[in-house]
Each structure stands twice: as C-alpha cells, then as structure tokens.
Chain A
C-alpha cells in the first residue's frame, strides 16, 4: 500500500498510459495511479467553489444522465447520496465528489466510480473505486463481491494483486486504518 502525495503533482498527460519502459511494475503502477489521481483532482477543483445547490443540480443532472428512473439523489442535511439502480458497465464513469455513491448492480472491469464519500456496491466490484475523493479518510468501500482493479481512499490505494486471495470474490469492506488500507471480509 502506498501513499500518493495529497496535493497531487502537476499532471503530465503522457503519464496516463503505461510507458513501455523497464521500470519495475510497482513504480509504473504508482506513477499511473498518481497521474490518474491528479487528473481527477484537477477536475474536482473546478467544481470546488460551487455552492451546494450547484452541486445538487450537478447530481441531479448526473442522475438523469444515468437514466431517469434508475438514479436518484437523496439530499440530506449533511451530504447527498447518489443511487444508481443498474450495473455500471465497462467504459462508464460515475463521478460524484459531492457525496456517497450506492450502486445496485455490479461495477464492471473497465468502469470507474469516484465518490466524495463512501462507495457501496450491491453486486461485484470489478472496476476501479475512488472513495473519500477530496480528503475524507473516513470513507469506505463496501461491496458484495470484491474483485477490483484498483481501490483508492483519499489517496491511499491498493490493487487487486495486493488483496489476499481469501478475501476475493466475497463480501468485503475496505477502509483506511492509520496509514494503510485494510480489507476485511463481511460475513
């Protein structure tokens, strides 16, 4: 488990893909994740100054984009929550820095969820999940079946390779414990 700088480095666009170098895989991975994080960060900064109303409007727009009756936004007093009532497919990206995201369905390999708060997946998590995006170390990732490409909580990340085989393809919870990520089975 590695820590990514919390104020992300300036993004160099070439970093997005794995460069065909002989660098150790871990380094390449780290650079890639850092670049990705920086890109997401930049995008969220743009919406940072916005009022909460604005962010709710964005959430509603997002909800309607995801298919009117299949996504709804619950706006409590604290933080809004985005509900997605269908699977998130490869190539799709759900971005909701305003709050938590709950998916009723699986998140495919090649799909991505970015949430300001926690991420709940009532299905298999096979794609990438960014929780606590924007500084919340208390955010968690919870799913019915864990088989992710990448898990990130507030800059800390872990990849599929680092998750014990005994925890895979089972209900699990991912959280930050001190300076490390902890993955536990949910039974």
Chain B
C-alpha cells in the first residue's frame, strides 16, 4: 500500500529539503520503493542535495503539463536502487502547476512506489497547499525557536483543513520532526525545549535531528546525509525517524553534547 508523505513547515530554511532527501534515502535503503518529489518550483534544490542537478531533463511541470511522460522525468538514484527523484523546474512559473495535473501525477506515482515524499516550498501559498493536497501523512519540520513553531502551528491548521483527507472528514496523520537541535544552546536555555515545542504543537514526535556540520558537508557532496555519512549523529537520527515512519517502535534519543578529544584540548564543545 503506497503512502504519500508531505514534508512541510511554513518557514523556510528549517530543513525540509534536507529531511526529504535523508528520509527518502533511509527508507529506500530499507528496501522500500521511494520517490522524492520537489514542489519548490523556482527554487529547486532537492536535485542538488540528491546530487542529480546535471541529470534533470524533464521535471514535475513537464509531466503536469503533459510535455513528458512520468517515466522520462523520473531520475533514478545512482547509489540506492529503489530511490527516484522527480525534480522541480527552476525556470518555469509556479502557476504552471495545476491542481488536476498534480492529482494525476500523484496518482500515477502511487502505483509505482511505496513512498511518495513531497518536499514542500516555504510559505502557506499555493505551492505549499498543492504539495500537501494529496498527502496521507505529514512530517512537520520545526526548529526549536518561536517563529518556526508558530509557522508550523499554522501549517498544521492547513493540513487539517486544506487537504483532500481533511475535506473527506478524515484525520491527517501528522508527525513532528525537530531539526537543527543544538544541545549546547538547549542546555543554556537559548532555544525552546523539546517539551515546549511538543506542548505548543501537540502532535507526536517523530525524531530530533541535531545541528551538525555533517549536514552541510553532505549537501555540498550532493548526497543525502543518511548516505554520505551514515554513522553520523544526524544520519542515525534520520534513520530512526524513517524506521518509525515504517511503523517500527524505536526509542527517541535526545541529542546531548559530547566532548571530542580534540575539542576538549581546545576547550570547545561540539554536538555529538
């Protein structure tokens, strides 16, 4: 049974694209058939994070407009067999995405894949509502700070009213992914705590991803962090989140600060 998952947040720069790539690759490495779909028309970057930017010929808009067949536009990952990408267009206007067109493409993707993961653009406008429109479940990406939590709250309101599932009177399954979590700043009380965020948003927690250099390093390498450095803290946290999405029960680890030998010598501290 295939599932359509939207990765959304309201606010930009919180880690939606990073999370889409990391979770998509993690699920695919578990043997699931996965496609990641970039809805951020005009600001595409899922293809960069997936390391496929030079392989994009056709994209979501070409397929929506009927200028290409889905099979022509799907880009298969070179590292993981079961992983594909449907890129967004950088040049085209986002109004080119029509509601019917998107519905048709999603229906077609459902037949081919176990997981259809939609990377939403920021904001609460058309692009974001189209990305969530056909979802069965949502991952709400939030940073532990007030403005991000506020925007996520707003997005949850839209998930509960503007999606097909909500309009049918069904309840949208929503999961909170707390990203860019910095244990040092959390200990100092500079950020909202996990408890604060959960209390305000009141949706179940899928995982906590620590702030880490590995994320930037992976995206510069053009690889999801779960493939580029699978043993790193963010990769393991994403891997656990993917397993929870599959229905496994995995305990949620709260990142703590760790002193590495080198940092100890220099009196600096780094996130584990």
Contacts and interface: CB of A to CB of B under 8 A. Distances in A.
Interface of A: 65, 67-69, 86-87, 89-92, 105-106, 108-110, 124, 126
A67 B160 CA distance: 8
A89 B153 contact: yes
A89 B202 CA distance: 11
A110 B151 CA distance: 10
B126 interface: no
Contacts of B156: 89
B262 interface: no
B157 A91 contact: yes
Contact of B202 (A65, A67, A68, A105): A105
Interface residues of B, number: 14
Contacts of A91: 124, 154, 157
A126 B153 CA distance: 12
Given A108-B200, A110-B150, A67 B166 contact: yes
Nearest to B152: A90
A90 B160 contact: no
Contacts of B160: 67, 86, 89
A162 B169 CA distance: 41
B interface SS class: helix
Contacts of B202: 87, 105-106
A92 B169 contact: no
Given A67-B160, A86-B160, A108 B169 contact: no
Interface in B98-122: none
Contacts of B153: 89-90, 108-110
Contacts of A106: 200, 202
Contacts of B161: 65, 67
A89 B154 contact: yes
Interface in B182-213: 199-200, 202
Contacts of A65: 161
B41 to A, nearest CB: 23
Contacts of B169: 67-69
Nearest to A109: B150
Interface in B148-172: 150-151, 153-154, 156-157, 160-161, 166, 169
